Structures are given as C-alpha cells and as structure tokens.
C-alpha cells in the first residue's frame, strides 16, 4: 500500500485566520471509482489527523482521520490514493469553487 500521509502539509491550525484564497492545498487524496476526494490543507502527525475540504456525499471543511482513510476499501479492493499529478499551489478557494460548480451542473 502506498503511503498517503500528508507530511508536507503545515500543522493543524496553521491556516487559522487565513482566507481560502491564501490557504494552499498541498495534498489531494481520492478513492478510485467513488467520487470521494480529500483536499488536505493541514496535518498533525501526533494525532494522525488532517484538516481540509472533503468532497463526497456532501462537500465540507472538516477533520479527517488518516487511520480511517487507510482502512477504506471499495468492493473492487481499491484503497485511498494520493493524486501524484496534483498541483500543490492550488488554493482552497479554487478547490471549493470547482467542487460547487461540479455539483450544480
């Protein structure tokens, strides 16, 4: 299994008080074949918890348990993966905007 730990993310609360246009999303995770995506903005290695935009059944900002993501498997056996082609200079505002645009099409 490939490592999905977002080590390059700033610590939890590092973006507190920043706008979504200045908060960057260094890591994108996804579950193939499901439409679930996690855009990680912050990470705590001590808690193995991340914070970011979750786009699944709903789209919202929230805390993300990395142990839970590591345990997820689709019926076909797919696990959560890191998007290796993701641009880490993408802002949270861009992610949120494209997420909402996709939902309203």
Question: Quick one: pLDDT band at residue 38, thresholds 50, 70, 90?
Answer: very high
**For 59-70, what is the mean pLDDT?**
96
Please give the model's pTM, rounded to 2 decimal places. Answer: 0.93
Looking at residue 99, what is its pLDDT? 84
Average per-residue pLDDT for the chain: 94
Q: State yes or no: pLDDT of 22 exceeds 70.
A: yes
Q: Measured on CA atoms in the order 64, 65, 66, 68, is the torsion positive or negative?
A: negative
């Amino acid at each position: 299994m490939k490592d999905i730990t977002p080590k390059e993310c700033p610590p939890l609360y590092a973006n507190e008080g920043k706008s979504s246009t200045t908060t960057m999303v260094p890591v994108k995770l996804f579950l193939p074949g499901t439409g679930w995506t996690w855009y990680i903005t912050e990470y705590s290695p001590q808690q193995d918890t991340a914070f970011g935009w979750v786009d699944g059944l709903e789209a919202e900002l929230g805390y993300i348990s990395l142990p839970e993501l590591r345990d997820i498997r689709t019926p076909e056996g797919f696990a959560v993966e890191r998007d290796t082609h993701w641009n880490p200079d993408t802002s949270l505002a861009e992610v949120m905007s494209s997420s909402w645009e996709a939902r309203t099409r």
